[in-house]
Structure 1
Amino acid sequence: MSTQLFSILLADAVALQANDYVGFTFFIGFMAMTAASVFFFIESNRVEGKWKTSLVVSGLITFIAAAHYWYMRDYWLQTGTSPTQFRYIDWILTVPLMCVEFYLILRAFGATTALLWKMIGYSLLMLVAGYLGETVYRDNSVLWGVISTVGYVGILYETWFGSAKKLAQSSNDPVLNQAFSALAWFVLVGWAIYPIGYMAIETDGWLRGVLAIQNMDLIYNIGDAVNKIGFGLVIYSLAVNSMAAEKAKVMAK
């Protein structure tokens, strides 16, 4: 099996042109997500209690992304066009899981399943509407883009001003607050590339002609790696620092 896998990778590498920078980032994305998954799964065995679940979810996010980047890489090499359908399959699985992470780290401080389903609902609204506007109803992409933005704004509100933010503040845990703030910045800045990419679609996107779709694939690939891996590393840092703080309190008694 390993020989067969190596042969596939070698064939794809040969097909990759030296000046295909977009194709290059598909390879980088696949390998980076795979490496991150291995790291998160291994480290999940070194943490305790609730942090195991959080790190497993982080590993699942990058693992799912790695599997889709494998297919997106082949699709790009064979067609030279953007693998839109694979991206949305990836996002509709990984983005809700990233929202689950907010619930997991806040659960000890009073987060309820209502917050969990609210965040998942916002993410699904954002992604389903975005997919419909970018594929099925291209002539009405602005309308579907507005609907998708409602979901994105809902997540932004929860992480910056809503119940999720209030729970983090009420915890009086500086480690949690610092990590939560980093995750909120990922949502605000890191996730902003996705609506920008949507507005660059060819029909009536507000940024059509400003950004070439090939350039957006390059930005998507880099952004996906930074957002998903970075998100997981923040969770990992929170787990390690929280466990260290708890041990320090025990030793101080």
Structure 2
Amino acid sequence: MHLSDIFIPTAANVGVLSMVVYFFMLVAMYAFLANLIFTLTTHSSIVPEHRITRVMGAIIAAVAGLSYYFIQDYYRHMLADLSALGTEAERQELIRTSYNAIGQYRYMDWAVTTPLLLLKMVSMLRVEPSKAKGAITALLLADFFMVLTGYIGEQQLDAAGHILVGPKLFWGAVSTVGYLVVPFVLYRLWNRFKDQAKPIERKSFKIIALSTVTTWGVYPLGYVLSVLDIDMNWIHLSFSVADIINKVGLSVVVYLAGKTLLDERVPMEATQPAYQIN
């Protein structure tokens, strides 16, 4: 294999915005890989009752990292084709049609990672599944419904790969029903179980549950904007940044809560890396 056979994009042949998007796709992949390693190596650094959340975190990081490997690889190959196009109209056409293909990987990722993210949130309230079967089931079903119907909406394309605006917006509206159920159920769980959680756990729950109506909102907004005549690179960029915040950020919040509880429970020297409690 010769270096000349490998396409490495630069701003000179694909533009600055495309390079920024490619940069964040790779950064996201590296961030999830780093989070996976950190999660596995700090499993014993938090209180035992929250260690199952570290397992969930490892799965989230592994799935997200693998997804972003495929996403950035497809995007790089798209940039190779993009560099050969002469007009801006041709380039935008390729970016739009490739966006629809890349989006599939995101939905497959979310189908696995978002339910686990929600379970990590619920764990901060020390909820026993047997005492909230209905609420947890509703939460997970609403989440999967949201992802699946959103995925179906992304598949509303004509034979040329162009978005069918009406059908896509219809499925987006259907998906929004599931999206609205998620914070509602989380709020109900908060009112029911907040008193049994420690102060640091309540604080952590509020921070990460708030993400469902803030940083999670980037995704439906991007979904709607995709039917407009805009550069799809902006949506790619927003989704990559939001994924890092929602997945790595949540993992850090949960880790700090579990670490704080362990530090309060046992002598500091017993929680140092060389003296991890198993």
TM-score (norm 1): 0.83
Residue 140 of structure 1 corresponds to which residue in structure 2? Answer: 167
Deviation for aligned residue 1:107: 3.8
Distance in 2 between residues matched to 1:130 and 1:108, nearest whole Å: 29
One-letter identity of the residue aligned with 2:111 = I
**Residues 23 and 76 in structure 1, CA contact (< 8 A), matched pair in contact too:** yes
The 5-angstrom pairing of residues 214-225 of structure 1 reads 214-225=233-244
One-letter identity of the residue aligned with 1:112 = A
Deviation for aligned residue 1:172: 5.5
What do the CA deviations read for 1:181-216 (whole angstroms, capped 9, x no partner)?
1011211111010000110123xxxxx23x531100
Moved over 6 A (4+): none
Matched, 1:15 2:8: yes
**Residues 215 and 246 in structure 2, CA contact (< 8 A), matched pair in contact too:** yes
- SS of the residue corresponding to residue 45 of structure 1 reads helix
**Residues 168 and 176 in structure 1, CA contact (< 8 A), matched pair in contact too:** no
Deviation for aligned residue 1:236: 0.5
Of 141, 145, 151, 1:121 maps to: 141
**Residues 168 and 180 in structure 1, CA contact (< 8 A), matched pair in contact too:** no
Distance in 2 between residues matched to 1:114 and 1:39, nearest whole Å: 33
The 5-angstrom pairing of residues 45-60 of structure 1 reads 45-60=44-59
**What is the root-mean-square deviation in Å for CA atoms of aligned residues?**
2.5
Matched, 1:38 2:6: no
One-letter identity of the residue aligned with 1:192 = G
Matched, 1:167 2:166: no
Residue 183 of structure 2 corresponds to which residue in structure 1? Answer: 156
Residue 248 of structure 2 corresponds to which residue in structure 1? Answer: 229
Matched, 1:84 2:103: yes
Deviation for aligned residue 1:56: 1.4
Residue 243 of structure 1 corresponds to which residue in structure 2? Answer: 262
One-letter identity of the residue aligned with 2:42 = E
Relative contact order higher in (CA < 8 Å, ≥ 6 apart)? 2
What do the CA deviations read for 1:107-142 (whole angstroms, capped 9, x no partner)?
456752333222111111111111111114744112
The alignment covers a number of residue pairs equal to 233
* Higher mean C-alpha deviation, range 34-43 or range 79-88: 79-88
Matched, 1:179 2:178: no
% identity of equivalent residues: 21
TM-score (norm 2): 0.76
- SS of the residue corresponding to residue 125 of structure 2 reads helix
Residue 150 of structure 2 corresponds to which residue in structure 1? Answer: 130
Distance in 2 between residues matched to 1:184 and 1:104, nearest whole Å: 12
Gaps of 5+ in 1: 203-207, 249-253
